[in-house]
Amino acid sequence: MSTAVNRQPRIVLTPSGVFFFLIHFAAVAAVVAAPWYPPSAGVLIAAVLLFVVRKFGITGGFHRYFSHRSFKTSRFFQFCLAYLGGMAAQKGALWWAAHHRHHHQHSDEPEDLHSVKQHGFYWAHVGWILSDEYTEYDSQRVKDLTKYPELVWLDKYHVVPPVTLAIACLALGGWMGLLWAFCVSTVFLYHTTFCINSLCHLLGRRRFETGESSKNSFIMAILTLGEGWHNNHHHYPHCVRQGFKWWEIDPTYYAIKVLGWFGIVRDIKEPPKALRMA
Ligand SMILES: [Zn+2]
Ligand SMILES: [Zn+2]
């Protein structure tokens, strides 16, 4: 991948950039108007469920499966994970994995896509998303994934999963369903994911000297289904499990273990046993 990038804080209104602003506007409007137009209990439950399920699509799917190949599964369930993560409107699994692999290879080096240390909090959190430097991905980084035409198709048409979900929310829950179950929930998905790139390289504790700035954060682990153990993850990026101690809560790992009991996934990579002791 080219390292000739412009990391000035600038905003380019690509189609996905326009969508990004519109969904934030809708989410903030829904929250501000809530005292006068409160969402129903059903709409709120749908918003929370869609947050949790799609968050797993990102953490278990885009991150631990597609980016790190930390477990194996069938071609059908692989597609399900790509679709589920795709519903979070963070582009496609191949785009996500290619950029994430680059982050691990170049963490906190000048060419890191989203380094707080190199380019500041704003750039690491959202600046790189809003620039037009990374609308494409280096297919050489995901050669193991581009051999599946259905994944390439879904990545090319990455608008399909979020648009179908938005239509379903509107059809089943009306405008409040669209605003809360889709827009508010998606904005929470964005910023909890982005916080791993920004806050988890800024605040928290370090267990391992990993050569970059990654940190472990209990609060971020709660908000991201276990991804807040980011220093652990940078030390052993190819493990499914990121919370190494019993108290390092890692719901993504628990869910993948359960899927393993049912034979849906297999070959779950664990960290060395000595590290898993309390
Ligand atoms: Zn990182
Ligand atoms: Zn990773």
**278 residues of the chain, pLDDT tens digit each:** 444 455 666 667 788 889 999 999 999 999 999 999 999 999 999 999 999 999 999 999 999 999 999 999 999 999 999 999 999 999 999 999 999 999 999 999 988 999 999 999 999 999 999 888 888 899 999 999 999 999 999 999 999 999 999 999 999 999 999 999 999 999 999 999 999 999 999 999 999 999 999 999 999 999 999 999 999 999 999 999 999 999 999 999 999 999 999 999 999 999 888 777 65
The identity of residue 41, as a single letter, is A
- Whether 6 is in a domain gets the answer no
State in Å: Cα 215 to ligand 1 middle: 9
The pLDDT value recorded for residue 140 is 95
The pLDDT value recorded for residue 17 is 86
Closest CA to 201 of 225, 226, 233: 233
- Whether 9 is in a domain gets the answer no
Q: Which two tokens stand for residue 181?
A: 């179950």
State in Å: Cα 212 to ligand 1 middle: 8
**Closest ligand, as measured to the CA of 215:** 1
- Whether 216 is in a domain gets the answer yes
The identity of residue 50, as a single letter, is L
- Whether 172 is in a domain gets the answer yes
Please report which helix (H) or strand (E) contains residue 210, including its range: none
**Closest ligand, as measured to the CA of 227:** 2
Q: Which range marks the domain in which residue 173 is found?
A: 15-276
User: Which SS3 state, helix, strand or coil, does residue 267 take?
Assistant: coil
**Closest ligand, as measured to the CA of 238:** 2
Q: Are 264 and 234 in contact (CB under 8 A)?
A: no
- Whether 8 is in a domain gets the answer no
Q: Are 54 and 129 in contact (CB under 8 A)?
A: no
DSSP structure class, residue 148:
-
Is residue 110 classed exposed, middle or buried when 0-12, 13-18 and 19+ CB atoms within 10 A define those classes? exposed
Please report which helix (H) or strand (E) contains residue 71, including its range: none
- Whether 3 is in a domain gets the answer no
The pLDDT value recorded for residue 6 is 58
- Whether 5 is in a domain gets the answer no
List helix spans (H) across 33-158: 41-56, 75-86, 93-105, 116-122, 128-130, 143-146, 149-156
Q: Are 241 and 251 in contact (CB under 8 A)?
A: no
State the first-to-last Cα distance of the chain, in angstroms, to the nearest integer: 41
Q: Please state the pTM of the whole predicted model.
A: 0.94
Q: Which two tokens stand for residue 178?
A: 């669209």
State in Å: Cα 76 to ligand 2 middle: 23
Alpha-carbon gap, residue 274 to 277, rounded angstroms: 6
Residue ranges of E strands in the chain = 72-73, 265-266
- Whether 56 is in a domain gets the answer yes
State in Å: Cα 227 to ligand 2 middle: 9
State in Å: Cα 69 to ligand 2 middle: 10
Total number of domains constituting the chain:
1
Strands 265-266 and 72-73, by their bridges, are antiparallel
Under 8 Å CB-to-CB from 16, ≥6 apart: which residues?
91, 135
